[in-house]
Structure 1
Amino acid sequence: MSEPFLLFAAVTFVAVFGSSSTPSVARAFFVFGDSLVDSGNNNYLATTARADTLPYGIDSPTHRPTGRFSNGLNIADVMSEELGGEPTLPYLSPEMQGENLLDGANFASAGVGILDDTGIQFANIIRIGMQLQYFEEYQDKLSALVGRSQARKIVSHGLVMISLGGNDFVNNYYLVPLSLRSRQFSLPEFVRYLILEYRKVLVSLYELGARLILVAGIGPLGCVPAELALRRSLSGECDPELQRAANMFNLLLADVVRELNLEIGYVSFIAANAFNMHMNYITHPEAYGFITSKDACCGQGLFNGVGLCTAASRLCADRDEYAFWDAFHPTERACRIIVREFLSGSEESMHPMNLSTILARNPKV
């Protein structure tokens, strides 16, 4: 990282965290990433990556689809609850104006990855570079509302969560037997390339004013119902190659977070090992109150993991009994388990500390 960046980091540390007399209001929340955290941005795009028809949203307050790839709330929504606020609005929503800007914004878009060529089959999605541009645009709107100085404080004291990487494997590297990326890179080479590109994204978030950044690793890709069905797992055993890919990615991501914090001189980034968190209830579903961690609640075919969740799909009666909602995404109940780990998990899952610890150290605006 360049010397100007390090100097900027040191100066900003004093500006952001040096005063304990700042009045306390609700902490803003900013979300970047993919379908695990998209709160409905894709509803406003001409894309096939959509969750705007039932039974998506069947357990939401309105019992109607919201654009979330969930039966109800997703990980970002549950995190908003824990921060004491309402679910953060999608940035493309017409309601994202006025005082709603003070709560933060959700820039995530289903189908995106770290790489621009990930998700091209979904057509019009908000790639991560555009999500960062929208973050800049958001700050201009916020400055017009509260002034530049206050806008900087809202962003720097807010919490940022980013979830990327899974699509770069399942919707890119492993999408077809001989994808362009799989011909270009061996798996270890591809993971290293992804991590280098992700590092640039994380640095950009910091340079745009983010100071509390939760970086969610990728879950056990080989265990999702879609992959169990695609690879025709007879006993529900997770695919070892995809599991290896996820583990490699998460280990290198934790290294990047460690390096960035050392270069900055304080803890700004936290790495969440989502693989470990998901594997806890996938391996022992009964201990978490699930009857299965293999079959999706909504779908068709083997493990209910074939195709999309639609009105024609087989739908389970009790979503709380299932770890997976559709072929790729967790149920709301599973999302709540993940967020609890974000907040209070051990160093095995949260590096260098859990979210509750760092939030307690850093005041709100």
Structure 2
Amino acid sequence: MLNMEKRWCPALTVLLSSIICITLSTVISSNGAVMASQQFTAMFAFGDSLTDPGNNNYLNSLAKANYVPYGIDFYQGPSGRFCNGRTIIDYLGDLLELPLLPAYANPFATGRNILKGVNYASAAAGILAETGQNLGQRFNLNDQILNFESTLNQLRNQMNQQELSQYLSQSLVVMTLGSNDYINNYLQPSFYSTSSTYKPNDYANLVINHYSRQILAIHNLGLRKFFLAGVGPLGCIPSQLATGLAPPGKCVSYVNDIVSMFNTRLRSLVDQLNAQYPGSIFVYGNTYGAFNDVLDNANAYGFRVKDRGCCGIGKNKGQITCLPFSVPCINRNQHVFWDAFHPTQAVNQILARKAYNGPPSDCYPVNVQKMAQM
């Protein structure tokens, strides 16, 4: 008689085990998105011209970059990014295996196109509502929060409440603001009187107090993972060097000193928020230190020019920014600065990597890669 005893085939056992493991380790939401392999479900970016992907294209603003030579190294050409190519957000998205985030104001930023995140950044925007008013319309941070609420309403139509809560809690928030509150506000007394009203310490406190409330407003909407970038060494950008207030080869120390006051308070705010909101994570991105590292070790990073723009007019190519159809430098990857205010995409890529997997001196208390695991 034939042996009817049940026997397992080793090859079949391996196959079934593999299928079970894949099934258990992969979670698919009702909208069809595979969740398990992702570091974050989405990324939501709030910011200014350092990360604006083209929102100001749709506003009545003097702060626009939707013309050549902007975007000369970007596959879409002049998209509205204030750079020769990609921004920090673009490169960080690459590291997180996320697609380019749509600009909130883009008509195509709707439906499934927003499931991986949205970029709300707007050139000339600040933490304070009045910052950048001299340049016309912009989405200040208060506006950007309202715009996120509009996105949230769209997401509610695509997920149930439980799915949405999980989606938001595993999303990344990146906030890069504060520069304009100095460049287009405190350092521009002809446009706004704050600089004659507040001492530097008082002004830093004012801005941080506003920022704290705005961060918590976003947190209250369900987001839980925040990367808060500090302000870079503004005293070293070509527009400040062009003022002649710094010795040759040096930065404007006064400007860097007052920016450092803001950064010190932002780092302290991160400690405070992490203590008050267990289950959430707030990270301070030391943009000031990371950018200074590039400037101090320019040759090691492959840069040959660090005191003037690749594109612009006047002293240090920092008195007038890139004019339409102007011809930029050829060796763009060897320039730290693209124009009077913004870094080249080569620097943006370095800063994104430092944010993603940098040491505590770059990202405190953890980097973005570790945030994804929390």
Q: Same fold (TM over 0.5)?
A: yes
User: Paired residue for 2:307, among 294, 301, 318?
Assistant: 294
Using the TM superposition, give the Cα deviation of residue 344 of structure 1 relative to its aligned residue in structure 2, in angstroms.
Answer: 1.7
> CA-to-partner distance for each residue in 1:100-148, whole Å, 9 max, x for gaps?
1211101110101110110001111111111111111101101112333
The corresponding residue for 1:113 is: 126
> CA-to-partner distance for each residue in 1:230-265, whole Å, 9 max, x for gaps?
235451310011110121111110000100110112
Greater shift, 172-181 or 216-225, is seen at 172-181
Q: Specify the SS of the correspondent of 1:237.
A: coil
Structure 1 ranges of 4+ moved more than 6 A: none
The corresponding residue for 1:30 is: 44
The corresponding residue for 1:96 is: 109
* 2:26/2:37 contact within 8 Å kept: no
2: CA distance between counterparts of 1:345 and 1:237?
Answer: 27
The gaps in structure 2 that reach 5 residues or longer are 1-24, 28-34
Using the TM superposition, give the Cα deviation of residue 285 of structure 1 relative to its aligned residue in structure 2, in angstroms.
Answer: 0.9
Letter in 2 for 1:96: A
- Relative to the length of structure 1, the TM-score reads 0.90
> CA-to-partner distance for each residue in 1:329-361, whole Å, 9 max, x for gaps?
111110011011111222122111111112123
* 1:46/1:123 contact within 8 Å kept: yes
* 1:285/1:291 contact within 8 Å kept: yes
Letter in 2 for 1:42: N
- Relative to the length of structure 2, the TM-score reads 0.88
The corresponding residue for 2:334 is: 321
Using the TM superposition, give the Cα deviation of residue 52 of structure 1 relative to its aligned residue in structure 2, in angstroms.
Answer: 0.3
Q: Is 2:87 aligned against 1:67?
A: no
| Count of residue pairs the alignment pairs up | 341
Pairing 1:300-319 to 2, within 5 Å after superposition: 300-311=313-324, 313=326, 315-319=328-332
* 1:342/1:355 contact within 8 Å kept: yes
The corresponding residue for 1:173 is: 186
* 1:299/1:314 contact within 8 Å kept: no
The corresponding residue for 2:139 is: 126
The corresponding residue for 2:173 is: 160
Using the TM superposition, give the Cα deviation of residue 221 of structure 1 relative to its aligned residue in structure 2, in angstroms.
Answer: 0.5
Pairing 1:179-198 to 2, within 5 Å after superposition: 179-198=192-211
1: CA distance between counterparts of 2:92 and 2:317?
Answer: 28
Q: Specify the SS of the correspondent of 1:236.
A: coil
Letter in 2 for 1:24: A
The corresponding residue for 1:201 is: 214
Using the TM superposition, give the Cα deviation of residue 176 of structure 1 relative to its aligned residue in structure 2, in angstroms.
Answer: 3.4
Pairing 1:248-259 to 2, within 5 Å after superposition: 248-259=261-272
Letter in 2 for 1:202: I
The corresponding residue for 1:53 is: 67
Using the TM superposition, give the Cα deviation of residue 149 of structure 1 relative to its aligned residue in structure 2, in angstroms.
Answer: 2.8
Q: Specify the SS of the correspondent of 1:132.
A: helix
1: CA distance between counterparts of 2:189 and 2:219?
Answer: 35
2: CA distance between counterparts of 1:28 and 1:152?
Answer: 13
1: CA distance between counterparts of 2:102 and 2:203?
Answer: 34
1: CA distance between counterparts of 2:325 and 2:158?
Answer: 46
Letter in 2 for 1:350: C
> CA-to-partner distance for each residue in 1:183-230, whole Å, 9 max, x for gaps?
210011101111111111111111011111100000001000011012
Using the TM superposition, give the Cα deviation of residue 57 of structure 1 relative to its aligned residue in structure 2, in angstroms.
Answer: 0.3
Higher helix share: 1
1: CA distance between counterparts of 2:261 and 2:334?
Answer: 30
The corresponding residue for 1:223 is: 236
The corresponding residue for 2:56 is: 42
> CA-to-partner distance for each residue in 1:279-309, whole Å, 9 max, x for gaps?
0111221111001111111111111111121
Letter in 2 for 1:77: D
Letter in 1 for 2:103: P
Letter in 2 for 1:166: S
Q: Specify the SS of the correspondent of 1:293.
A: strand
The gaps in structure 1 that reach 5 residues or longer are 1-19
Q: Specify the SS of the correspondent of 1:161.
A: strand
Change in CA separation of 1:201 and 1:180 when aligned onto 2, cut-off 3 Å: same
* 2:56/2:80 contact within 8 Å kept: yes
Using the TM superposition, give the Cα deviation of residue 312 of structure 1 relative to its aligned residue in structure 2, in angstroms.
Answer: 5.4
* 2:185/2:191 contact within 8 Å kept: no
2: CA distance between counterparts of 1:202 and 1:173?
Answer: 22
The corresponding residue for 2:19 is: none
* 1:41/1:93 contact within 8 Å kept: yes
